[in-house]
Homo-oligomer: A and B are copies of this chain.
Amino acid sequence: MSYNAPLKDMQFVLTELANLAEINALPGCEDATPDTVEAVLEENAKFCRDVIAPLNRVGDKDPSYWKDGTVTTTKGFREAFKAYAEAGWQGVQHPQDFGGQGLPKLVATPCMEMLHGANLSFALVALLSDGAIEALLTAGSDAQKARFLEPLVSGRWTGTMNLTEPQAGSDLAAVRTRAEPQGDGTYKLFGTKIYITYGDHDMTENIVHLVLARTPDAPPGVKGISLFIVPKFMINDDGSLGARNDVACVSIEHKLGIKASPTAVLQFGDNGGAVGTLVGEENRGLEYMFIMMNAARFGVGIQGVGLAEHAYQGAVAFAKDRVQSRDVAGSSGPVTIIHHPDVRRMLMSMRSQTEAARALAYVGAALSDLAHHHPDEATRTANLAIYEYLVPVIKGWATEMSEQVARDGVQVHGGMGFIEETGAAQHYRDAKILTIYEGTTAIQANDLVGRKTVRDGGAVAKALIAQIRDVERQLGEAQNADFVAIAQRLQEGSAALEQVVEYVVANIKTDVKAVFAGSVTYLKLAGIVLGGWQMARAALAAQKRLDAGEGDAAFYRAKIGTARFFADHILSQAPGLRTSIVDGAAGVLALEIEQF
């Protein structure tokens, strides 16, 4: 099963919905001209198709394995990562000062989507390195930046995030790893970290671990966590590699999916202490980690989009090839199954949700660029607030959506989907991690409710709803059936979202359990309404091109049809979700624990 980046849709979203021209005009984003962006995307698409995608099934069949304390990755991964690094792909969005290309997040985002779409297991090493780079750029000292950034940006080394411990799961307040100051500016770390993605591997000569730990005098809970750099190999003053640090990979997990990506248990300090240096200030580790995590959460949302696209392509190819049963409207013999209405329904469901999530995520990336590069501070602040509202929605909704899409991908294949050789089953297995790591959907939903909705009294959410209402007005001017239906569903959706935002803000103090009982449902509602908003914008943009007689008419007509599907089949769930949130807490909380 091959993967071809959906360049046409990516370009459409970049130019028509995420306003690449506006981003290109920002200071520091001058290189992101339409021509450059097109060239970058085409080159990346070729690389992902030819080098990365062919390793996807291979990695599932012959996963990375652990033996005697070291991890050997799937055959071909090492060479592929070398090629990835040498072509400069790790540096797309990172500063030119450290060897990157310095392109905006809006351009890096489709590159990420392609890499994840081609091969989720492989792409994870790049995602984690991005997170480490982000954290060091934000909080690292000049010496740390000088030592670690160029090797990470160039892909000579890779990075990891070390948060989770066996007893703690998602609860960082329970972190126990100790960091003891040595008086020379270094610390010695002792503890066990689990679920460390690419915690050990043989693809690069060094690995840079970013580790949460507590110093001896740290206060308890999340306010006593600091962030440390612990390299796998020590680094000499001339930048060459020194001795092995005291961090050992003691095992990797046997997982449901993303099998080529080694998920390590790392043991720090069993032989005297792992040497690390503090990032930023003591006890501010969580704050720095959140910078890294916000980038990583956005990235996991993009994983959802990429995986969904790959599953969709596989299902379309199968449905166009597999001949079975007559057409329900009559045919002289059996037809390809894409003729069957329910197969078509599943393909449209996969397609429309993938396109909606892509559009929302790219628009989010543009907001991030505006938040970082716009000359006007108020504009930066306003865009940052909207971006931060969107991050948990993109992460949570795009990944939940990808599970559903991967599931439908298996279903389109019928019995063949249950046999591993088609690859559809791998997507179904791989997808299941996306709603869990970097914070489960429930944790995203807590963030959406707490930091992103309640804290500002729903102001950002309502500003977004006001933008949706603008689109509803534009839709109202069109007369044809597709636009009338899209307008109606979007109105019902934005009304439902508004009622829920008001419910959340009004009840958080008096009935916190009831509000959180609806938190994940609120996140899903926000996802489909915001996704529907983007699909409606896409339909309007497509109609404009059609009216002007410009471009690929079949593509634009398909976009309108896909938006129509999204409206009637996905957005139409919004009023029901509102009911579940506003009236549903009694049912969620009806039982005593003993009654389960």
Q: Find out whether the CB atom of B428 lies under 8 angstroms from the CB atom of A432.
A: yes
Report which of B325, B558, B575, B588 forms a contact with A344, defined as CB distance below 8 A: B588
Task: Knowing A338-B596, A565-B590 are in contact, say whether A329-B513 is a contact too (CB < 8 A).
Answer: yes
**Set of chain B residues within 8 Å of A194, measured between Cβ atoms:** 415
B590 touches A348 (CB 8 A): yes
What residues of B have a CB within 8 angstroms of the CB of A344 in the complex?
517, 588-589, 591
The contact of A342 among B324, B519, B595, by CB within 8 Å, is: B519
At the interface, yes or no: A173 with Cβ under 8 Å from chain B?
Answer: yes
A235 near B: Cβ within 8 Å? no
> From residue A430, how far is it (CB to closest CB) to chain B in Å?
10
A293 CB-CB contact with B under 8 Å: no
Does A573 have its Cβ within 8 Å of any Cβ on chain B? yes
Q: Are A516 and B328 also in contact (CB < 8 A) when A418-B256, A568-B584, A587-B348 are?
A: yes
A586-B485 contact given A170-B324, A419-B253, A516-B342, CB 8 Å threshold: yes
Do A328 and B513 touch (CB < 8 A)?
yes
Contact A586 B481 (CB under 8 A): yes
| Contact A591 B562, beta carbon cutoff 8 Å | yes
**CA distance in complex: A425, B326 (Å):** 37
Q: Are A517 and B345 in contact (CB under 8 A)?
A: yes
Partner among B173, B343, B437 whose Cβ is within 8 Å of the Cβ of A442:
B343
Q: Is A78 an interface residue (CB 8 A)?
A: no
A440 proximity list for chain B (CB < 8 A): 411, 414
Interface residues on A, range: 35 or more
State whether B562 touches A586 (Cβ < 8 A): no
Interface string of A556-596 (1 = CB under 8 A from B): 01101110111111001111100110011111111111111
With A342-B516, A517-B342 as known contacts, state yes or no: A348 contacts B568, CB within 8 Å. Answer: no
Residue of B nearest to A420 (CB): B254
Separation in Å of the A241 CB from the closest CB of chain B? 32
Find A347's partner among B338, B421, B437, B596 (CB 8 Å cutoff). B596
- Is A435 among interface residues, defined by CB-CB distance under 8 A? yes
Contact B575 A169 (CB under 8 A): no
Whether A565 pairs with B593 at a CB distance below 8 angstroms is: no
Is A160 positioned at the interface, with any CB of B under 8 Å from its CB?
no
| Proximity bits, A460-490, B CB within 8 Å = 1, else 0 | 0000000000000000000001100100000
Task: Assess whether B328 is in contact with A591, with CB atoms less than 8 Å apart.
Answer: no
> Is A334 interfacial (CB 8 A cutoff)?
yes
CB <8 Å contact, B591 and A425: no
Name which residue of chain B comes closest to A578, CB basis.
Answer: B572
The answer, yes or no, to whether A125 is at the interface (CB within 8 Å) is no
Closest to A417 in B: B436
> A344-358: contact bitstring with B at CB < 8 Å (1 yes, 0 no)?
110110011000000
> Does A232 lie at the interface of the complex (its beta carbon under 8 Å from any beta carbon of B)?
no
Chain B residues with CB below 8 A from A588, complex form: 341, 344-345, 348, 565, 569
Q: Do A562 and B580 touch (CB < 8 A)? A: no
Partner of A316, one of B324, B485, B580, B596: B596
| A373 lies within 8 A of chain B by Cβ | no
Does A405 reach chain B (CB closer than 8 Å)?
Answer: no
Of chain B, the residue at the smallest CB distance from A312 is B596
Q: Known contacts being A348-B587, A440-B414, A587-B568, is A425 close to B329, with CB within 8 Å?
A: no
The chain B residue with its CB closest to the CB of A517 is B341
